C-alpha cells in the first residue's frame, strides 16, 4: 500500500514555541516538519494544525501555521476529542435539487470522498500524537506517522510510542518516503523544486 496524493491529509500536532526547546533533537524535528508542510502545500494536500493549551505553550511556527486550513486549540491530548475528526471527515451534505421534480439519479451528489490517508507529524509522540493516531484508526482512517518529523522529550518515550503505533496498524514512514510517494514520478511538475528543498 502506498500513499496517494489525492487521498492524503496532513495533521501537524503541537510544534509549539514553549514545548519544542525540550524535545530531543528538536531542531531536526522542526526542519523536517516544516519541509513536510511546504511540500504538502505545494502539492495541494490539506494541512491541519493543533496546539495544546496555547495560552501556556504558545503557538506553532508562523511559517507553516499560515499554510494550515485551520489550527485547532485543544486541552485534550487527542485532537479527535477537540473537533479534528469533523475537519478530516466532514458530515455529508444533503443532495441538492427538489426530490419531487428530479429523479434521484439526477440530483447533485455533494458528498465529497473522504481523504482517508492521514499523515501525522508532531509532539509529543507518546502523548498527543499517539492518542490522536489511535483515535483516527478507530475511525477507520489510515494513519501514516512521519517518524523523522515527530519528537518527545525522551527518546525512549518516542521509541515506545512508535512500537505501539506500528502494532496498532499505523504505517511508520520517513519524510522522503512520503514525498516521493506523493510525487510518483520524476516528471511531476513540482519534482525539481521539491528535490532542491531536499538537498
For the chain, domains (ranges, CATH) are 5-89+112-198 (3.40.50.850)
pLDDT below 50 — which residues of the chain? none
> Which letter, b or e, does each residue of 145-181 get, where b requires 16 or more Cβ atoms within 10 Å of its Cβ?
bbbbbbbbbeeebbeebbeebeeeebbebebebbbbb
Cross-strand pairs, 187: none
pTM, whole model, 2 decimals?
A: 0.88
pLDDT digit string (tens) for 48-82? 999 999 999 999 999 888 999 999 999 999 999 99
CA distance 35 to 31: 6
Chain-centre distance of CA 7, in angstroms?
12
Whether the CB-CB separation of 59 and 65 falls below 8 Å is answered with: yes
DSSP label of 153: S
Amino acid at each position: 500500500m502506498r500513499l496517494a496524493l489525492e487521498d492524503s491529509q496532513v495533521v501537524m500536532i503541537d510544534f509549539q514555541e514553549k514545548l519544542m526547546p525540550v524535545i530531543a533533537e528538536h531542531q531536526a524535528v522542526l526542519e523536517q516538519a516544516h519541509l513536510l508542510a511546504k511540500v504538502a502545500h505545494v502539492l495541494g494536500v490539506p494541512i491541519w494544525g493543533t496546539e495544546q493549551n496555547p495560552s501556556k505553550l504558545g503557538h506553532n511556527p508562523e511559517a507553516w501555521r499560515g499554510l494550515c486550513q485551520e489550527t485547532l486549540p485543544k486541552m485534550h491530548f487527542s485532537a479527535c476529542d477537540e473537533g479534528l475528526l469533523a475537519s478530516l471527515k466532514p458530515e455529508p451534505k444533503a443532495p441538492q435539487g427538489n426530490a419531487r421534480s428530479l429523479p434521484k439519479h439526477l440530483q447533485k451528489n455533494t458528498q465529497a470522498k473522504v481523504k482517508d490517508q492521514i499523515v501525522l507529524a508532531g509532539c509529543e509522540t507518546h502523548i498527543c500524537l499517539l492518542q490522536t493516531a489511535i483515535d483516527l484508526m478507530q475511525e477507520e482512517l489510515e494513519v501514516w506517522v512521519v517518524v523523522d518529523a515527530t519528537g518527545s522529550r525522551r527518546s525512549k518515550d518516542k521509541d515506545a510510542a512508535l512500537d505501539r503505533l506500528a502494532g496498532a496498524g499505523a504505517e511508520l514512514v520517513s519524510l522522503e518516503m512520503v514525498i516521493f510517494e506523493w510525487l510518483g514520478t520524476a516528471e511531476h511538475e513540482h519534482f525539481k523544486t521539491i528535490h532542491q528543498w531536499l538537498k
